[in-house]
Amino acid sequence: MKVYWKKFNNEYIPKVVGKQPNKNMADDVGIDSSLDKRTPLYERIIKLTKVCRVVKGGRKYKYLALVVVGDMCGKVGFGIAKASEVQDAVIKSGHYAQKHMLGVPLGKNKRLIYNVEGKYNSTKVLMWNSREGIGIRAGSTIRSILDALGIRNAGAKIIGSRNPHNVIRAVFNALQGLCIRFRLWKYHC
């Protein structure tokens, strides 16, 4: 079996020659769709804020919750919700996150397939793999997303605004780009 390096989007990716025609090198990478009601989910509150609305009779206070939910096997989602009580806001945002989960293809040992970058407004996020035993070297917001995905060794850098709302959306843009690149790679190999 020979490995050739094929250039794709300014990066070299392996192309294996001398294998079975239907078997792909990326077949060990997959998205597990076995999410049901009994699966325990990782849930983390990223930001909890008290917001105020001024009306004619005075001020009305609500709570805004930003929550990340994942199954630690390649599915992750985030939700933002407001409610008059803290617990209600957390539950609402958790339900929204579960409904809108993103399946991310992971490599062996639950690692990122590529180095990825995502951008949202003035926030840019770079994520890459680290060698075994390093752990997650990232800010608390990105760390919680990578924990929810199940990734153990990775690094990340935030360039620009560190607002948690922007950071989460930039990370999810990067993960969606990773899914698209994986589909293209699987198609072309």
Tell me the pLDDT band of 185, cut-offs 50, 70 and 90: low
- Number of helices (H), then strands (E), in the chain: 3, 10
Tell me the pLDDT band of 186, cut-offs 50, 70 and 90: low
Contact (CB, 8 A) for 130 and 157:
no
Across the chain, mean pLDDT equals: 82
**What is the predicted pLDDT for the residue at 131?**
87
Is 137 part of any domain?
Answer: yes
DSSP bridge partners of 136:
154
- Statement: the pTM of the whole predicted model exceeds 0.85: no
Q: Edge-to-edge strands of the sheet including 116-120?
A: 116-120, 123-129, 154-160, 136-137
**What is the predicted pLDDT for the residue at 26?**
43
Token reading at 43: 């849930």
Alpha carbons within 13 angstroms on the beta-carbon side of residue 34 total 6
**What is the predicted pLDDT for the residue at 177?**
87
Please tell me whether residues 46 and 83 are part of one structural domain. yes
Is 78 part of any domain?
Answer: yes
Token reading at 110: 């639950």
Phi/psi for 81 (5° steps) reads: -150, 155
Only one residue has tokens 């993960």, namely 175
Query: Tell me, what DSSP letter sits at residue 71?
Result: -
Domain boundary among 102, 134, 152: 102
CATH number at residue 120: 3.30.230.10
Domain boundary among 75, 102, 129: 102
Mapped onto helix, strand or coil, the DSSP state of residue 172 is helix
State pLDDT tens for residues 22-74: 444 344 444 444 455 556 788 999 999 999 999 999 999 999 999 999 998 88
Please tell me whether residues 127 and 181 are part of one structural domain. yes
Is 61 part of any domain?
Answer: yes
